[in-house]
Amino acid sequence: MKDNGIIEITFHGRGGQTAITASQLLAEFTFEKGFKDTIAIPIIGAERRGAPIQAFTKISQDKSIRTYDSVKDPDYMLIFDTSLLSIPRINETIKEGVTLIVDSVRPLDKNKLPKNVKVFIVDATGICIKNKFMHSSGPILNIPMLGAFGKVSGYYALEIMEKVLKKEFGEERIDKNMAVAKDAYESVKEV
Amino acid sequence: MIKPELKDFLQSEEIKIIKGNVAAAYAAKSARVQVISAYPITPQTTVVEKLSEFVDGGLMPGTQYIKVESEHSVLASLVGSSMAGTRTFTATSGQGLFYMYEMVHWTAGVRLPIVMAIASRGPAPPWNIWADFTDVISCRDTGWMSAFTATHQEIYDEILMSYKVCEDYDVLLPKFVAYGGFILSHTSKPVILEDQDKVDNFLPPLPDEKGWPHIWIDPKRPLMHGNLIMPSGFYSEFRMKIHDALIRSKSKIKAVAKEFEKTFGRSYGNGLIQEYRMDGADVAMLNYGDLALQMEEAIDAVREEGYKVGMVKLRHFRPFPVEDIIEVAKKVKVLGVMDRATAFGSPTGGPVSSEVKTALHGTKGTALIFPMINGIGGREVTVEQQKEQLKILIKINETGELPEDLLHGTLWHGKLEVD
């Protein structure tokens, strides 16, 4: 958290991996939980499947958020695809003190990271495949990634996710959504 | 004539985390607009998309949704609909607004209370789809009112207020409600959607079958409207009336902002401008749109360092709040005016800084006006940069010297470094 009481989260994914929706849903989960203010900021240009995508969410338990600028020094980074970590402009934002949540089955090489960086991994892709939680271009990673984030940050639990997702997407798909969320919530681990 | 049905879908008070564009769509729904005409253009598209969902889903019974082949036809069809006596709405951006331009003049000429949301974007070329208010400002002389909004909530609120101002029989003019493309249109924040009953009570009733007081379209009594008028006819007097109505709309905007605050509890200054920490300020910045909200953060930080700085948020460009600007300029020694728009060849290169200078002409004892431009074509402006901008004003006040790197007297802030 910054001195101004605002927690900043960045999302790095590839077009189609649902990272932009993740930034919006995180704003909704935390607001539902009782955070005072949230803002979801997608970076929009010429998106296409597979291209690197960035989004930000700023949340605050007790302050109004008055900024629209991009997040340069995040508290958390959600990495939907480990191949993005080799892109310099993404790699460079991994600074001391940040917590990474990565869709991966393997731990990251900590020697390549600044000191005092916490790394959590969750097999979000595997969870989606196992639960057949897919859309036309692949696994819907945002729900398991946000399940993992809820657990790691402690900002919201599964019940909050269920409440918001029911409101957003209806009863029909809630079981599948919650199955992947729970799977990720329970299996995310620090490495 | 489209008659709203009685079993309308009713919105109860609710906070939703929504994009600025969706807030605009909800405002049109809350205002029970009767005709929407639409043509998609980035970054506005999701406004009319959301409205088509509402209409298709039966949430706006009685509302006609017209799909046309271009922006010119969007406004032409709304002119027809509004002349028939209906509350109308649309949204556009940048090039779409330019394509409408002929009908933009026409709308004000017929004195129609149409409200249009503008998700502002930079004019091409090169193609640009990001925040820049040059689009809406280039309609300066059309007779439309124009408002800038700084928050998601303000988009929703300002659209409601606009209908009340536009439909006032002493005003009867159209209005733009502008907000920065992507910065507000595509980011999401909590927005309070008001109870339908409360909105219904706040707004004037929808026009009855007789329509607006100055125009009555009746198939049984055919009349020609907007016909050629000889120079000896009333053309000149009609134009005088438009100017007069636009100037007089200032007091209506102020009254409506006051009533809005009383009804819904949210304050937008006096409606025309909104001051932030101007108490005892030596220097101040005038901002508009999203950067005005973010500037509050910079003001707080620089005040913390012990400098007496303040901000004035400009809420309306037309009518231009001349009297309020004079008052502000009497309070401080240096007034920076920050444009996120261009007015090529004007005295300062920035449209609002040129207006401010004009407003102060002939008034003694006012601040030094320092024109600045930033964020053109959506270039990011950070809080850190905004703090730097305030420091520049402080330095001018302390030393009396202007920065060296000016272009014809204006500071273009946040330029790329070129070797």
Residue B192 touches chain A, beta carbons under 8 Å: no
Are B100 and B144 in a shared domain?
yes
Q: Tell me the pLDDT band of B3, cut-offs 50, 70 and 90.
A: very low
Are B183 and B296 in a shared domain?
no
A42 contacts B187? CB cut-off 8 A: yes
Q: Tell me how far apart the alpha carbons of residues B113 and B24 are, in angstroms, rounded to a whole number.
A: 17
For residues A94, B383, B18, A170, the Cα torsion angle rounded to the nearest 10 degrees is: 20
Question: DSSP secondary structure string, B130-152?
Answer: S--THHHHTTGGGS-EEEE--SH
> Does B418 map to a domain?
no
Q: Tell me how far apart the alpha carbons of residues B83 and B111 are, in angstroms, rounded to a whole number.
A: 9
Determine contact, residues A24/A30, Cβ cutoff 8 Å. no
Query: Closest Cα of chain A to B298: distance in Å?
Result: 10
Topology of domain A7-190, CATH: Pyruvate-ferredoxin Oxidoreductase; domain 3 (3.40.920)
Q: B73, B85, B79: which is closest to B38 by C-alpha?
A: B73
Are B244 and B193 in a shared domain?
yes
Domain extent at residue B143: 14-264
Are B256 and B277 in a shared domain?
no
Are B123 and B225 in a shared domain?
yes
Number of domains chain B contains: 2
Are B306 and B227 in a shared domain?
no
Does pLDDT of B5 surpass 60? Answer: no
Quick one: tokens of B30?
């809350």
Chain B partners of A27 at a C-beta cutoff of 8 Å?
A: 17, 188-189
Which of A74-83, A84-93, B339-348 has the weakest average pLDDT?
A: A84-93
What digits encode the pLDDT tens for the residues A95-133? 999 999 999 999 988 888 888 999 999 999 999 999 999
Q: Tell me the pLDDT band of A1, cut-offs 50, 70 and 90.
A: confident
Distant-in-sequence, close-in-space partners of B354: CB < 8 Å, separation ≥ 6: B343, B346, B347, B348, B371
Residue with tokens 């901002």: B287
Instruction: Pick the last residue of a domain from B212, B245, B264.
Output: B264
The per-residue pLDDT for A46 is 67
C-alpha distances in Å from residue B289, one per residue of A130, A181, B149, B159, B286:
47, 38, 5, 15, 11
Q: Tell me the pLDDT band of B1, cut-offs 50, 70 and 90.
A: very low
CA B260 to chain centre: 17
Percent of chain A with pLDDT over 90: 80
Query: Closest Cα of chain A to B188: distance in Å?
Result: 5
Of A27, A28, A68, the CB nearest to B183: A68
Q: What is the arithmetic mean of pLDDT over B277-306? A: 98
Does pLDDT of A170 surpass 90? Answer: no
Are B185 and B74 in a shared domain?
yes
Chain B partners of A41 at a C-beta cutoff of 8 Å?
A: 187
| CATH number of the domain to which B130 belongs | 3.40.50.970
Are B305 and B260 in a shared domain?
no
Chain B residue whose CA is closest to A30: B17
Chain B partners of A28 at a C-beta cutoff of 8 Å?
A: 17
Percent of chain A with pLDDT over 70: 99
The per-residue pLDDT for A122 is 98
Q: Tell me how far apart the alpha carbons of residues B245 and B61 are, in angstroms, rounded to a whole number.
A: 33
| Overall size of chain B counted in residues | 419
Distant-in-sequence, close-in-space partners of B176: CB < 8 Å, separation ≥ 6: B116, B117, B118, B136, B139, B144, B145, B146, B147
Q: Tell me how far apart the alpha carbons of residues A174 and A162 are, in angstroms, rounded to a whole number.
A: 7
Size of interface A-B (CB pairs under 8 A): 51
A27 contacts B188? CB cut-off 8 A: yes
Query: Closest Cα of chain A to B166: distance in Å?
Result: 30
Of A28, A31, A39, the CB nearest to B187: A39
Quick one: tokens of B288?
């508009």
> Does B417 map to a domain?
no
Top residue of B130, B149, B152, B188 to mutate, by most chain A CBs within 10 Å, is: B188
Are B258 and B238 in a shared domain?
yes
Chain B partners of A39 at a C-beta cutoff of 8 Å?
A: 187-189
Residue B51 touches chain A, beta carbons under 8 Å: no
Of B187, B294, B382, the CB nearest to A41: B187
Q: What is the arithmetic mean of pLDDT over B255-284? A: 98
Determine contact, residues B250/B272, Cβ cutoff 8 Å. yes
Residue B369 three-state SS: strand
What's the pTM value of the predicted model, to 2 decimals?
0.96
| CATH number of the domain to which B407 belongs | 3.40.50.920
Percent of chain B with pLDDT over 90: 92
Distant-in-sequence, close-in-space partners of B52: CB < 8 Å, separation ≥ 6: B38, B65
Residue B38 three-state SS: strand
What digits encode the pLDDT tens for the residues B303-354? 999 999 999 999 999 999 999 999 999 999 999 999 999 999 999 999 999 9
Are B325 and B256 in a shared domain?
no
Which amino acid is it at A3?
D
- Residues in A lying within 8 Å of B, measured between beta carbons: 4, 24, 27-28, 31, 37-42, 44, 65-70
Determine contact, residues B376/B325, Cβ cutoff 8 Å. no
Chain B partners of A67 at a C-beta cutoff of 8 Å?
A: 294, 297, 383
Distant-in-sequence, close-in-space partners of A8: CB < 8 Å, separation ≥ 6: A2, A56, A57, A58, A71, A73, A74, A75, A76
Which of A1-5, B12-16, B134-138, B139-143 has the weakest average pLDDT?
A: A1-5
A40 contacts B187? CB cut-off 8 A: yes
B293 contacts A68? CB cut-off 8 A: yes
Are B98 and B169 in a shared domain?
yes
> Does B384 map to a domain?
yes
Are B140 and B246 in a shared domain?
yes
